[in-house]
Amino acid sequence: MSPLSIASSPYPFPHGGLAAGRTALVLIDMQRDFIDPDGYLAAMGYDLGGVRTAVAEAARLLAAARCARLAVIHTRQGYRTDLADLPPHRAALVKSGVLKVGEVGPLGRFLVRGEPGFAIVDAVAPEPGEPVVDKTANSAFSGTELDVILRARGLTSLIVAGVTTDVCVHSTLRDAADRGYECLLATDACGSGDPEAHRAARYLMQVEAGIHGATADTTAIVAGLDSLAL
């Protein structure tokens, strides 16, 4: 009997077959500041169509992952209240008005930990026992305990979704691949405020025979996870 896998491109995911004990769903920065019309991304002038469309697919993916008993890990992007962890060059962009980190908006101070905008949206809210990794860098591995959590649980293959495709999602995928994890990007459960950047990030998953990982849409991933749950 051949091992279960997800129908993905440019190869079936994952190598060696799909197993709940080795696979995790990682949801990147599904926060109000990136998805809500009153949040940071909207205040920066980006179109929210892409990120908001991703929410329903991410919720469907999350439900299937829980049913298949996969590990689920969430991340959040945000800075200290005093912004001491905001790099000086980015702080300079804030002072010049280019970035809005720390400014006050309808959901509190943008991208500041503990503010309403820092919260994960209700549609994909963490359940008890699902780790939440807080970060300041684009990659969820940089300066966090994510790698330790994954290795402690014996997790080697990652299904990745969230926002934004071109920045934090893609940075995390590339970092994961360099650390030896096999990755699958859920192409319609991620989104960006820039449609062209979203397309480019998806395209980069296909170069060099999938050097960063494979891709599949939510329907294909859910079908694979549903088979695993049987």
The catalytic residues are 29, 135, 168
- Distance from chain centroid for Cα 54: 11
Strand spans (E) along the chain: 23-28, 71-77, 104-105, 108-109, 132-135, 157-163, 182-191, 214-216
Separation between Cα atoms, residue 11 and residue 40, nearest integer Å:
36
For the chain, the maximum distance between any two Cα atoms, rounded to a whole number of angstroms, is 61
- The CA-based angle 40-44-45, given to 5 degrees, is 125
Instruction: Name, in order, each residue with C-beta under 8 angstroms of 125's C-beta and a sequence gap of 6 or more.
Output: none
Q: Which region holds residue 67: left if phi is over 0, alpha if psi is between -120 and 50, else beta? A: alpha
Q: Which residues contact 198 (CB under 8 A, 6 or more apart)?
A: 50, 164, 165, 166, 190, 191, 192
Chain centroid offset of residue 181 CA: 15
Burial 52-71 (b: 16+ CB within 10 A, else e): bebbebbbbbbebbeebebb
* CA–CA distance, 25 with 12 (Å, rounded to integer): 17
